[in-house]
């Protein structure tokens, strides 16, 4: 294995570690979509309803929300009112964005102990869901896990904010980079024209 392959492998591993909640969320979303499709088709086509799909869908939807919280911090996609941030000078913006992360961090850490005691209580009672008989402790555990993960992502984002210059401060990459797609399309078009001219 040469140096380029090792470097590429390291980048891929780093990307997976930095975004694994997105991948898990994608799997949960696909499973949720499949369940709801099965429910709709069975109800309206076969006139038969699977009662367990609704319970499973609710659990998956809750998991998806909390995985999305951590993923949104990673990608800087949380909804925010930035009217005040845009009028502040560079240092003021940086301080406000870091303060925002610190407040979110405090909130996320504050949620963990109460949910940990709820989970402990569910384990003691051996509580399960009514239809699927899934342990409620496992279902609830996603909340403190994702809150701790969100805290890790907030620390990472704060470190990133400290290093950013005025132009890139607090910027998030678009989900679909239209400008990059347009550049790619123009390059492909130019390449096709060159091939035609060569013929």
pLDDT in tens, the chain (199 residues): 566 777 777 777 777 777 888 889 999 999 999 999 988 888 888 888 788 888 899 999 999 999 999 988 888 887 777 777 778 888 888 888 899 999 999 999 999 999 999 999 999 999 998 888 999 999 999 999 999 999 999 999 999 888 888 777 766 766 666 777 788 888 888 888 888 777 6
- Structural domain boundaries, residue 116: 3-171
Q: Measuring CA to CA, which residue among 37, 28, 59, 24 is closest to residue 134? A: 59
Is residue 66 in a domain?
yes
The answer to whether residue 144 sits within a structural domain is: yes
Residue 18: inside a domain: yes
Number of structural domains found in the chain: 1
Q: Which long-range contacts (CB under 8 A, 24 or more apart) does 126-135 make?
A: 129/55, 129/59, 130/55, 131/51, 131/52, 131/55, 132/52, 132/55, 132/56, 134/59
Q: Which of 90, 71, 82, 96 is nearest to 156 (CA)?
A: 71
Task: Indicate whether 22 belongs to any domain.
Answer: yes
* 143: in domain: yes
Tokens of 171: 């910027």
pTM for the whole thing? 0.78
Q: How many CA atoms lie within 13 A of 56 on its CB side?
A: 17
């Amino acid at each position: 294995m040469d140096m380029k392959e090792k470097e590429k492998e390291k980048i891929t591993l780093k990307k997976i570690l930095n975004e694994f909640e997105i991948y898990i969320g994608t799997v949960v979303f696909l499973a949720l979509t499949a369940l709801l499709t099965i429910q709709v088709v069975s109800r309206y086509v076969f006139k038969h309803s699977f009662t367990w799909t609704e319970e499973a869908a609710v659990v998956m939807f809750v998991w998806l929300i909390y995985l999305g919280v951590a993923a949104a911090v990673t990608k800087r996609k949380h909804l925010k009112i930035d009217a005040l941030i845009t009028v502040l000078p560079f240092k003021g913006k940086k301080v406000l964005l870091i303060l925002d992360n610190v407040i979110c961090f405090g909130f996320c850490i504050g949620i963990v102990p109460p949910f940990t005691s709820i989970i402990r209580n569910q384990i003691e009672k051996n509580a399960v869901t009514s239809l699927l008989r899934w342990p409620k402790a496992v279902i609830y555990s996603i909340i403190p896990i994702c809150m701790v993960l969100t805290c890790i992502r907030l620390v990472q984002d704060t470190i990133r904010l400290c290093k950013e210059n005025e132009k890139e401060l607090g910027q998030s990459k678009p989900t679909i980079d239209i400008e990059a797609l347009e550049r790619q399309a123009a390059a492909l078009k130019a390449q096709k024209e060159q091939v035609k001219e060569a013929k």
